[in-house]
Each structure stands twice: as C-alpha cells, then as structure tokens.
Chains A and B, each alone.
Chain A
Amino acid sequence: MTEDVNQRNREKLRARGVRLDYWNERTRRRLEILAGIDLTVREGELVAIVGPSGCGKSTFLAAVDGLVKPNAGAIEVDGNPVIAPGHDRAMVFQQDCLFPWRTVLRNVSYGLELRGELSRHEIRKRAESLIELVGLTGFADSYPHELSGGMRQRVNIARALAPHPELLLLDEPFASLDAQTRDFMQLELLKILARTGTTALFVTHQIDEAVFLANRVAVFSARPARIKQIVEVDLPPQRSLEMKLWPRFRELQDEIWRSIYQETIHLTAAE
C-alpha cells in the first residue's frame, strides 16, 4: 500500500485487479484486453488515462461505467461494487450522441427522466440550471443539429451531470473538436467540475490535455493493459492556458510521451 499525499480525501473509485478478456468470434481467439488494472481515484480528483492506441483505455472506462463486465477483479464506487450502469456514474462519450429528436433541454433531462424520481417540474428546473452551468442559456429549445461541435459537447456534459453522478467518466470527449475549441472546453470542464465538486476519470489521446486537466495521469501499457506508471501533475491546482507553455508542463508531457512511446515500440515489436 502506498501512502498517499491526499490521505484526507476519500476514495471515490477503487479498481483492483480488473481483468477483461474478449472472445473474438472472427479470429476465434481470446483477446486479453485488461491484464489487471489497479487504480484509485480520490474524491474531487481528476485522473486522466493515456496510453497507446487500442490499449483498452475506453474498455476500462466502460467497465467502470458498468457497460462491460470484467472477467476478474473488483470495481467499487464509494465502496459499492459496480455490476451495472448506475446513477452514481455517468459517461460522456466521444461522439456526443445527443438524441437528435430531443431538444437541448430534453437531452439534458434524459437521465433524470429514466430515473423517474423527480417531478416533471423538478427535472426541468435541474436541466435548466445545468444548461446555464455549461453556458448554453438560451439554447434550451434548440435541437442538436442546430448547435456547433463545442456546444454539443457542452450539452453532452450537461446531460451526464444532470443526475448528479459521483463519478464522471469522459471518453475522449474533445477529440473531434478543433484545437481552439478544445482549449476552451478544457478550461470550461475544469470550471464545471470545480463548481459541482464532481470526481472525474478522463480518457484521452492528447498528452497535453491529460497534463492540463489532471491531478494524476495514469499511463496504460500496450494491450493487454496494465498501469505502467502514474504521473503526479504538480502544477498549481488552478490551471490556466499559459501553463501549457511552462517548462514543468513540458517536462511532464515529455515524461508521459516517453512512457507511451516505449509501449508503442513493444507493440510494433510484438506484431
């Protein structure tokens, strides 16, 4: 057991020895995707996961969400074992996947509607406050196809946050945005998470994105994935875009890049 600096913070997510195989019907072979993942995310923390392409980052996230079942190991959120998708977690998918037949307001309401615990009026009120939180006041009655890519991702985030999840899972949410919009959305995300106090697990391909957003960056090895390294991001907690130019930012980026690069070499050597 390693002694953590932030011991006062409760563990929000605890994954131990998560293994996942998948049977490929076409090649008739068992494919090992996750080879025992141990990861802890503390309350209020943002942990980013990076790693070589196809290493199983998204699969791990889906396992935490309860969308896929690991073959072995345990995933707990607030001490409760994850067996299926639940209201304590919410996923922000890469493709925004907003329902085109629902307005922004009704997209954001979706999770709450499924739960059926709140009255129509309460759902509306909460959805409206989230739309405001992500800066889309005035667009409640717009349809997704009327919005820009950045705006759609905001709706996507608002939709995930509406049921007040304990843990927000983000699967490369900004991958399809242009560079400037992405910078802006990164800042926005940090603000939103700070304001709601939500813990987050963030999968990305972009190393700079990981360093910029995260308190810690978990580097996954090539498939079958293990956690190769965990990099503590010792930048000031209040992030600003200039930090991307700081020498320390560069150092962290380089360290992570090297780590992933070694894995890619293993990967190509193995094939």
Chain B
Amino acid sequence: MTIEPAAEVLILEAAEPAERRVGLRGEGAILGTVSVAGFLLLWQTSVAMGWIAPLFVSSPARILVTGFGMFRDGSIYPDLAVSGEEFILGFGLAALAGIPLGILMGWYYRLNAVLDPFVNALYATPRIALMPLIIIWFGVDLSAKIAIIFLSSVFPVLVSTMTGVRTIDRDFIRVARSFGATDRQLFRTVALPSSVPNLLTGLRLGLGHALIGIVVGEMYGASAGIGFMMQTAGATFQTDKVMVGIALIAAAGMAMTRLLKALEKRFDAWRPDHHL
C-alpha cells in the first residue's frame, strides 16, 4: 500500500524528467518514512533472528525500552540538565559573540584584516585539538564544556554572518545612497537586514558543531551529561544506553535544525540572489 505511490513516482519521473522535482505531493516524506521504517524493521529482525548480537547493535525495541526506563526512573534527567545547561550557555555565548563580531568584521574592512588570520586558523583547526588546552585552562568542570561548545560553534556563526554583511547586493547600496543614506543608515537599513538569512544559516551550522562539542567535552573528564552517560555506558558495554544517548542527541539536533531551516525558508526571499 505504501509502496504504490513510490512506484507511480518512478513512472512520472521516467516520463517527464524535467518535472522531476514536482513529483507527487508529499513524495519525499513518504519515501523517507518508508526507508526509515524499512531500516528499523531490518534492524529489529536481524537482532530477533539472532543474526547479530544485541551487544553490538542493540535493537530498536531495546532502545525504546531502555530509553523509556531511563525517563521513568528519572536517571536521565540530571544528565539532560547538565548537557542542556552546557549547550544553552555555550551556544548562546557563541551566538552572542559570533553575530556582532561577524557583523563588525563584515562591515569594517580593517577590523576584518586584523582578525581574519586568527578566525581562519581557528576555524580550520579541529576544535577537539584544543581540548587538552581547554582542560589546562578551565579544568574539567562546567566552564570547560562551555568553552569547547563555544569554540566549536562560534566560528560558523561568525563567518557566515560576516559573509552576509560583505555580500550585500550592490544595487541595494546604490538605492540607499541615492536616497542620501549616511554610512550609519546604510548599515542599519541595508547591511543588517540583508545579512539575516546568512546569520540563520550560520546558527544552523553552528548548532551541529555545538552538539559535537557537548559529546567531545563530556568525554574528557566529566561527571554528568549525555556524553558522559554514553561514555560510561560504552565502557561497561551497555550498548542500549549508548544508543539512547545517540538517539537523544540526534533528535535534539534534528528538531533544532528543522526549526532554523523553517526560519531560513521564511527569510529566503531576502537572499540577494533571490530577489529577481
């Protein structure tokens, strides 16, 4: 039953390749659901049939049961709270610093020339490489985690925002100048609003890096948090718990990415290359 629409799509595609992107309504969602459901089914079956040991791969049912159990007995909440706090502070600070600095670097040529080498070097360095340093500076408590999450996510936000300010449509600048805009007015009425789409893209990219930061940070000497929970569960071969951690992080990442993507879509008409 669920396969039928997919088959129709294939025929449609074969007949009119030019209109492939139109397809059937909700085609993508259907295909996605089918593939995920199929994967979960295969996973569950191969464990149930004894093809693969659950110690290696757990199973969807076991993950669900373990996950619900952890929520019911409340053992997960302290970890969630710790990771959540780290994330909010780390990513929040990254946005708070990255956005204004990105705007300023995009606007002031000289500031950009001064800071660009550092930004580039740090952006290119895998942030995990900084972990030993961060531990030396901050120890192993909350501030170390905030620092690594901040460093992980600040650069995508900064660089993307800066690009947004720097690539303002020259036509908009001409219009503003023609109306007698001063530099400050140009900044406020053109540079700021037209960098919003890039800013959102930066936040979305930064978000992914922030989640990596959580896990990495908590793997180096932590006493709580989702990453720590996974680390200890992994060390004691509790594959189910590890999987619960992965699922939680994946879900959080997907939910927030979705939200930001929806926001980006809302502002898509603002993009410079989109207004014609």
Q: A residues within 8 Å of B by Cβ?
A: 65, 67, 84-87, 90-91, 93, 95, 97-101, 110-111, 113-115, 143-145, 163
Contact = CB atoms under 8 A, between A and B. Distances in A.
A143 B189 contact: no
A214 B26 CA distance: 54
A7 to B, nearest CB: 32
A99 B190 contact: yes
A114 B189 contact: yes
B179 A145 contact: no
Contact of A87 (B180, B190, B194, B275): B180
**Minimum-distance CB pairs A-B, first 5:** A145-B269, A101-B193, A111-B179, A97-B171, A91-B178
A97 B174 contact: yes
Given A85-B179, A101-B196, 4 more contacts: A85-B180, A90-B178, A99-B175, A163-B179
B194 A86 contact: no
Contacts of B179: 85, 90, 110-111, 114, 163
B171 to A, nearest CB: 4
Contacts of B174: 67, 93, 97
Nearest to A95: B171
Nearest to B181: A114
Interface string B36-56: 000000000000000000000
15 contacts: A85-B178, A85-B179, A86-B180, A87-B180, A97-B171, A97-B174, A99-B172, A100-B275, A101-B196, A101-B267, A110-B179, A110-B189, A144-B275, A145-B274, A145-B275
Interface of B is mostly: helix
B24 to A, nearest CB: 26
A113 to B, nearest CB: 8
B178 A67 contact: yes
Interface string B230-255: 00000000000000000000000000
Interface of B: 169, 171-172, 174-181, 185, 189-190, 193-194, 196, 267, 269-270, 274-276
Contacts of A97: 169, 171-172, 174-175, 275
Given A99-B193, A101-B194, A84 B180 contact: yes
A101 B60 CA distance: 46
Contacts of A86: 180
A30 to B, nearest CB: 23
Contacts of A100: 269-270, 274-275
A65 B180 CA distance: 10
Contacts of A111: 179-180
A98 B193 CA distance: 13
A100 B175 CA distance: 13
A77 to B, nearest CB: 14
B188 to A, nearest CB: 10
A113 B182 CA distance: 12
B74 to A, nearest CB: 46
